[in-house]
Every structure is written in structure tokens, then in C-alpha cells.
Amino acid sequence: MKKTIALTAFLCAGIVLCGCENKGNTTVTDISAVSSAASDSSITMEEAEQTAFADAGVSEADITHLKVNHNTEDGGNVFKVEFFDADNAYEYEISAETGNIVSKSIGPRSETVPNNSAAPVTEAETHPLDTTTVQPAVTESSTVSQAATENTAVSQTAMANTTASAAKNISEDEAKRIAFEDAGISESDAEYVSVKPDRDDGRKVFDVEFYAGGVEYDYEIDAENGRILSFDKDAEGLPARSETSGSGRISEAEAKEIAFADAGITESDAKRVKTEFDRDDGRELYEVEFYYNNMEYSYEINAADGSIIERDIDRD
């Protein structure tokens, strides 16, 4: 790790001497060719983070958003490290084999950390009733009483409409039924069915996923009216079941232990712990989410070997 940090400092010094100092929105890319030094062993995800922090001159305590991916697509083998501090947004690609910085981008922070909290619910406006007491001597008492009665009826109607509006939100089972009917299959023929409540641009939705007939189906359904917002069908085929392979997969409890160990906390200290089994591009994984000390932790754990595929830490 010391060699990696020293190499990073050497690379940054070389960039400044060449008049290529990164300022403002300037993006410095493809700087891996500056040095051919390499390590004999692969680096860890944590070492990739520290290399990026050291190059950016940022303290880990100042980071408000951190996301690390291990990317092996297109023959590459890099850690993609993205993070924010109070002023800037940083994106790094670190070679997983040598620890060298492959590319980096540093610029003023122009986006906010995603906020998954529910949108505020605006209460229905109510109108106070006319509580004027009509004395018996007033001859128009019947008219005033009728107005008060009409105001009461209007208020009760508004409350009934609000209740009906809230009640029309569909359930998870209804979201599944809508997806199955659109796909033209029965639930009994589907496998690996998953229904997740979510938000899209402030709108409540259900993400419905399942396999049937060797095809993967993905639906996004409006939770308020049941309308299908998006649909995707992948005909690559259903991956082989790990249960029949003889090797099995790690358990849900083991996936949680891996996530907690990486975060450096115990399960008893975490709140709102959630673990789900999922498939992504034919790969089985566990999604582990929890909250601790005003921070939200999200992990994707490889179900085959327990390796961390993705880690996302946000300030709650």
C-alpha cells in the first residue's frame, strides 16, 4: 500500500511539472502510461479507496458519499471509486492488478447525494366550520344553521375524497398480478419472483422481476394506479440453479456477516437491516442494506464465493 501511495504522489508531481495540473472541471484521463511499475499481487478494495483519497488529498472523514465497484467488463480489471466532499466530485479508476491510477476526474460538485427518503405528504386542506351561535331572537337562524350544515358536509366530503385517494394505492400482490397478466403467464409458472417498493422521481413504484420459460421479465409499475411505467424482457435464458450444482451458495446470514465485517460494525448496532437474494446478468448475489450512525450502507455480495461486488455508503 505504501508503494501505491508513493507511486500516486510521483504521478501527481509529474502532472504538475508537465503543466497538466487539474483545475476546475478539467478531467485528467489515461495516465496509467506514466509509470510501468506493478505489484506482484492484486490490491484490495480498501487499498484502491486509500489510493484515490491520497491522490485527491481528501480525508475519509470529510467524505459524504462513497461508491466502489470492481469492474471486469471488456477485459479490464479495475476498481471504480466515486466520492464527494463538501465542494467536489471525484471519480477514479484504479488498476486491481497494479494499484496504478488508470484515470481520474475531479470537478466542482454539481449533484446532490441521492435521497431515498419518502417525499413529504401534504395533508388535505380543511376549512374551519362556522361556529357562530345564533340567538333565538334572530329571525335568520334557520339560514345560518343551514350554512353551517353545508360547511360540515363539504368538509366531510373532502375527508372522504382524501381517504379514497390514499386507499387506491395498489398492493404488492396487485403489482405482481398486473405484471403476470401483461406477460401472459401465470404466477405458478414463474420463478425467482421479486417485488420491491421503490421511488422514481418522487413517485411510488413497484419493481417486479421474475423468470418464466427461460426469459427474465422486469416491470416498473405505478404504485398509485397500477399503470405499467416500463417493461424489459431478456431472452438470455434462466441461469442454472446453484442448488443442483452440488456446490451450493453462501447463506443469507453469511452475506450479512460479510457486510457487517466490512463496515466494521455489529449487527446488533445496525438498524433497518434488509437482505434479499437477487440475480444480475446471470450472477447470483445478495443485496444487504442497513443503517448505522446516520449512514446508509448498501452491499452486493456474490452468492457463489462471498466476495463484495459493490459497496455504497451514503449519509442518511
Comparing 305 with 146, the larger pLDDT belongs to 305
In the block, cell 398486473 appears at 178
- Band (233; pLDDT cuts 50, 70, 90): confident
When mean pLDDT is compared over 34-38, 115-119, 183-187, the highest value belongs to: 183-187
How far apart (Å, rounded) are the C-alpha atoms in residues 272 and 256? Answer: 13
**What mean pLDDT do residues 272-276 have?**
92
| DSSP collapsed to 3 states, 78-142 | EEEEEEECCCEEEEEEEECCCCCEEEEEEEECCCCCCCCCCCCCCCCCCCCCCCCCCCCCCCCHH
Classify 227 as helix, strand or coil: coil
CB half-sphere exposure, 119, CA atoms < 13 A? 10
The structural domain count of the chain equals 3
Comparing 217 with 3, the larger pLDDT belongs to 217
Assign residue 202 the CATH number of its domain.
Answer: 3.10.450.40
Boundary residue ending a domain (108, 140, 155): 108
Q: What angle do CA 24, 29, 34 make, to 5 degrees?
A: 120
Four-CA torsion 8, 9, 14, 17, nearest 10 degrees:
150
Per-residue pLDDT tens over the stretch 171-227: 999 999 999 999 999 998 888 788 889 888 889 999 998 888 778 888 999 999 999
- In percent, how much of the chain has pLDDT > 90? 35
Q: Is residue 93 located within the same domain as residue 6? A: yes
- The answer as to whether 136 is a domain residue is no
Q: Is residue 12 located within the same domain as residue 99? A: yes
Indicate the pTM of the whole model: 0.37
- Note down the domain range covering 280: 242-315
C-alpha cell at 83: 466520492
Q: Is residue 252 located within the same domain as residue 215? A: no
Boundary residue ending a domain (186, 207, 234): 234
Boundary residue ending a domain (108, 129, 150): 108
How far apart (Å, rounded) are the C-alpha atoms in residues 76 and 121? Answer: 46
Exposed, middle or buried: residue 4 (CB in 10 Å: 0-12, 13-18, 19+)? buried
